[in-house]
């Protein structure tokens, strides 16, 4: 920040240091800058000549002192003095520095230090002080001695002179205590032009550009390290959070600032805001993960671990400006946020488990339906060997794709689901085999029915024919020389016909024997009457005839 009286060229000095017309300048007699004018962009310290990777800084131009009274100047300057790493006090000294005038200007800074309630908190409260003496051709070391060397009150000529010396020494002592480094004094030569050029390097005054560059390099080295407040670096986020607190504290007519308390309060607010923002962001990230569920537990664990790690790193990154790495407040806040995020992750894990169970149930139903369709497509009956071959093919097709479907499930759920599918397949196998046996029996039964039916029909027809004939017909057929066996109508009466035939044969034999007996008797009688030769001849003819009849 740059401060000083009206019309001392503070805005032009800032533009020169920035090498860019960032602040408006005017030749009017009244104060042109109102309140605080902040640079429109943050500048890397490296651009100013500082170390590489240093912080980014902002330049602030304060309204000229004395235009609106000391109280207003104090309210404007105090917050910026507390947060500024470098403080430049601009004074116009064409005839050399006046310790009285400069220390009077510095008195405003010391009054800002007096706004701090505790004296111990004032030590090193402000940044690095630079006194820029415009239009001064004096030696810088001599000017510094005039401004900051302690005056010996013994050499005072009057009591008033002694009091003035004591007052200036008190200011010098306050400056020594309040600023973190010894003040620097710069003597900037007067420009030859009546109107300062926009580009300071084109000034017609020898030594002017070099002095600006020297001031810039020194300031850049100091800006390479951040301003500390209560041992904590003041980053942009800390300053943004601290300013409202400082502004509120400065509303009082007699402000009593307590920087440690302010920083702690700001830190507490920042912790709360950071915790809420990160938890809200974690909630949004969890909603994105929720849309991906269900997923494999290992993949979910990776995403949740990444979420937790991101929240933890982001939390540490945001609060490292407020807390030391081992700060108990930061650790407590981090633990609280971690518990909230852990609870969020646990809810996602429970939801994923629930969805995985539903997925396992869905897979089980689909695989059962697929198995039923595959086994149902096997047409029965089949030979046992053919049936087993088709059952094995169907079983392999169902189980072959099952492992791919179970990849997302946990090992326990996958095992239970696979058991359910295998159990159902076993039941279907047994059912198919049982149905096949039943179908085979039915086929055999139908074949038996088809082969016995015609025989039964023939049997019935034969029985009808068999029952239709009578004994007389069969006897007549047999008597006529026919064969009764060739006529089914006679089969039923064959025993009777045979019996009758035997009876007739017996009767004929009996008749023949009787006839023979009679013939023998007659022959005997004739023999007795015929000669012996005749008798023998007749006897032989009789036997021949008997044999012929038989």
Contact 205, 189 (CB under 8 A): yes
What percent of the chain has pLDDT above 90?
19
Residue 29 pLDDT level (bands cut at 50, 70, 90): very low
Q: Is the pLDDT assigned to residue 315 strictly greater than 60?
A: yes
Neighbours of 413 (CB within 10 A): 19
Beta strands in 164-303 (DSSP E): 184-188, 228-229, 232-233
35 contacts: CB under 8 Å, gap ≥ 6 = 63, 76
Per-chain mean pLDDT for the chain:
80
Residue 38, pLDDT score: 81
Q: CB atoms < 10 A from the CB of 60, how many?
A: 17
Q: What is the pLDDT of residues 472-510, one digit of tens each?
A: 666 766 667 666 666 666 666 667 767 777 777 788 788
- For 393-437, the pLDDT digits (tens) are 988 888 888 888 888 888 899 999 999 999 999 999 999 999 999
Strands 86-92 and 128-134: parallel
335-357: average pLDDT: 92
**DSSP characters over 173-196:** HHHHHHBSS--EEEEEPPPSSSS-
pLDDT tops 90 at residue 330: no
CA distances from 162 to 108, 159, 166, 172, 388 (A): 22, 5, 6, 15, 122
- Rounded (5°) CA angle 153-158-164: 55
Say how far residue 192 (Cα) sits from the centre of its chain.
Answer: 69
* pTM for this model (two decimals): 0.57
* DSSP H or E run through 345: helix 328-376
Q: Which has more pLDDT, 107 or 304?
A: 304
Taking the alpha carbons at both ends of the chain, their separation in whole angstroms is 168
CA 362 to chain CA centroid, Å, is 22
Task: Tell whether the model's pLDDT for residue 346 goes beyond 70.
Answer: yes
Measured distance CA(260)–CA(464) in Å, rounded: 130
Higher pLDDT, 366 or 174: 366
Q: Which residues pair with 184 in a beta bridge?
A: 130
Q: Does 355 or 32 have the greater pLDDT score?
A: 355
Quote the Cα angle for 436-440-441, to 5°: 120
Report pLDDT digits (tens) over 225-249.
Answer: 888 877 777 777 777 777 777 777 6
CB proximity list for 114: less than 8 A, separation 6 or greater: none
Specify the DSSP class assigned to residue 490: G
Give the residue from 321, 315, 317 showing the smallest Cα distance to 232.
321
When pLDDT is averaged across residues 497-525 and rounded to a whole number, the result is 78
Summarize pLDDT for 253-303 with one digit per residue, the tens. Answer: 656 566 666 667 777 777 888 888 899 999 999 999 999 999 889 999 999
């Amino acid at each position: 920040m740059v401060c000083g009286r009206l019309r001392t060229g503070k805005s032009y000095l800032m533009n020169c240091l920035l090498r860019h017309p960032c602040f408006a300048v005017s030749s009017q007699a009244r104060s042109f800058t109102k309140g605080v004018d902040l640079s429109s962009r943050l500048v890397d310290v490296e651009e100013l000549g500082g170390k590489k990777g240093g912080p980014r800084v902002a330049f602030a131009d304060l309204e000229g002192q004395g235009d609106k009274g000391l109280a207003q100047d104090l309210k404007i300057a105090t917050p910026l003095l507390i947060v500024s790493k470098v403080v430049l006090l601009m004074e116009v000294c064409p005839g050399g520095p006046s310790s009285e005038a400069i220390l009077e200007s510095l008195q405003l800074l010391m009054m800002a230090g007096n706004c701090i309630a505790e004296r111990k908190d004032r030590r090193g409260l402000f940044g690095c002080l630079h006194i820029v003496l415009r239009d001064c051709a004096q030696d810088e070391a001599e000017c510094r001695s005039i401004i900051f060397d302690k005056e010996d009150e013994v050499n005072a000529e009057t009591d008033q002179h002694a009091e003035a010396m004591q007052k200036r020494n008190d200011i010098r002592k306050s400056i020594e205590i309040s600023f973190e480094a010894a003040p620097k004094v710069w003597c900037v030569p007067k420009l030859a032009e009546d109107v300062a050029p926009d580009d300071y390097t084109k000034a017609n005054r020898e030594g002017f550009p070099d002095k600006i560059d020297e001031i810039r390099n020194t300031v850049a080295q100091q800006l390479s390290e951040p301003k500390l407040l209560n041992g904590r670096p003041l980053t942009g986020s800390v300053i943004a959070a601290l300013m409202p607190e400082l502004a509120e504290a400065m509303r009082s007519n007699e402000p009593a600032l307590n920087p440690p308390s302010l920083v702690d309060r700001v830190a507490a607010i920042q912790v709360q805001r950071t915790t809420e923002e990160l938890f809200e962001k974690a909630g949004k990230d969890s909603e994105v993960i929720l849309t991906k569920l269900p997923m494999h537990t290992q993949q979910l664990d990776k995403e949740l671990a990444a979420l937790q790690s991101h929240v933890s790193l982001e939390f540490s990154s945001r609060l490292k400006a407020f807390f030391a790495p081992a700060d108990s407040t930061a650790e407590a806040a981090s633990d609280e946020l971690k518990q909230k995020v852990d609870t969020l992750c646990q809810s996602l894990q429970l939801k994923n488990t629930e969805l995985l169970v539903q997925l396992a149930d869905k897979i089980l139903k689909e695989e059962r339906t697929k198995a039923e369709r595959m086994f149902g497509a096997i047409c029965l009956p089949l030979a046992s060997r053919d049936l087993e071959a088709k059952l094995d093919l169907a079983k392999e097709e169902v189980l072959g794709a099952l492992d791919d479907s179970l990849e997302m499930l946990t090992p326990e759920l996958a095992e239970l689901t696979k058991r359910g599918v295998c159990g159902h397949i076993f039941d279907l196998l047994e059912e198919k085999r049982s149905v096949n046996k039943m179908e085979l029996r039915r086929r055999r039964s139908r074949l038996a029915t088809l082969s016995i039916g015609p025989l039964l029909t023939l049997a019935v027809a034969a029985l009808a024919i068999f029952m239709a004939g009578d004994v007389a017909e069969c006897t007549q057929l047999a008597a006529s020389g026919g064969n009764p066996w060739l006529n089914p109508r006679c089969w039923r009466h064959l025993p009777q016909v045979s019996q009758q035939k035997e009876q007739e044969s017996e009767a004929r034999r009996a008749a023949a024997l009787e006839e023979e007996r009679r013939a023998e008797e007659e022959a005997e009688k004739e023999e007795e009457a015929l000669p012996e030769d005749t008798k023998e001849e007749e006897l032989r003819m009789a036997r021949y005839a008997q044999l012929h009849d038989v």
